[in-house]
Structure 1
Amino acid sequence: MGFFSKLFGLDKESKVSEVEPVEYEGYLIYPEPIAEGGQFRIAGRICKQIDGEMKTHTFIRSDLLASKQDAEEFMLNKAKMFIDQTGDSMFQ
């Protein structure tokens, strides 16, 4: 079944990569750029533990950048700005 699972995209383990979060003001920012047509869409997650529950806000922008590293850095900067502007209200 290994051949067929790879052929039909069922081998998800090979595509999953661990993202190291960046801590900012008690939030965890996970930069997760999305590959699109040879470029990378700025995307990721902002997470925070609130009242014993992990809250997550998915962050996707329309911006495309040429490199994955640039998209990760841009996402971190935008996420920090978003946290400063909205705080915990992003989870409502």
Structure 2
Amino acid sequence: MGLFSRLFGGAKEQPKVEVEPVEYKGYLIYQEALSEGGQYRIAGRITKQFDDETKTHRFIRSDVLPSENDANEFMLKKAQMFVDQMGDNIFQ
């Protein structure tokens, strides 16, 4: 199957890029826009360390934007608003 994928332009695996988190009120926000049909879907993770465990909330929004940078900036603003509204209840 690998030969046919290469010949007919099958999906190529993207290298994993390490995302630098943004710290906000004790939470780490990872901006991870998803490439989708020439646009970028707003997506990311919010994490927080609790004693001996790290909790993670992953989200993907229905919004798509033309640039990866715009999608990541919008995600950061949404994540900050979510933290302000929900606090530690994010992880319930």
- TM-score with structure 1 setting the length: 0.85
Structure showing greater Rg: 2
Give, in whole Å, the separation in 1 of the partners of 2:29 and 2:52. 18
Structure 1 residue ranges (4+ consecutive) displaced by more than 3 angstroms after TM superposition = none
Counterpart position of 1:77: 77
SS at match of 1:64: strand
Any unmatched runs of 5+ in structure 1? none
Q: Mapping of 1:1-80 within 5 angstroms?
A: 15-80=15-80
Gaps of 5+ in 2: none
| 1:51 Cα offset (Å) | 2.2
Number of equivalent positions: 87
- Percent identity for Structure 1 against Structure 2: 62
Is the partner of 2:80 in helix, strand or coil? Answer: helix
Structure-2 separation of matches of 1:75 and 1:91: 18
Match of residue 86 from structure 2: 86
Task: Report how far residue 50 of structure 1 moved.
Answer: 1.0
Paired AA for residue 64 in structure 1: V
SS of match in other structure, 1:58: strand
TM-score of the superposed pair, with normalisation by structure 2: 0.85
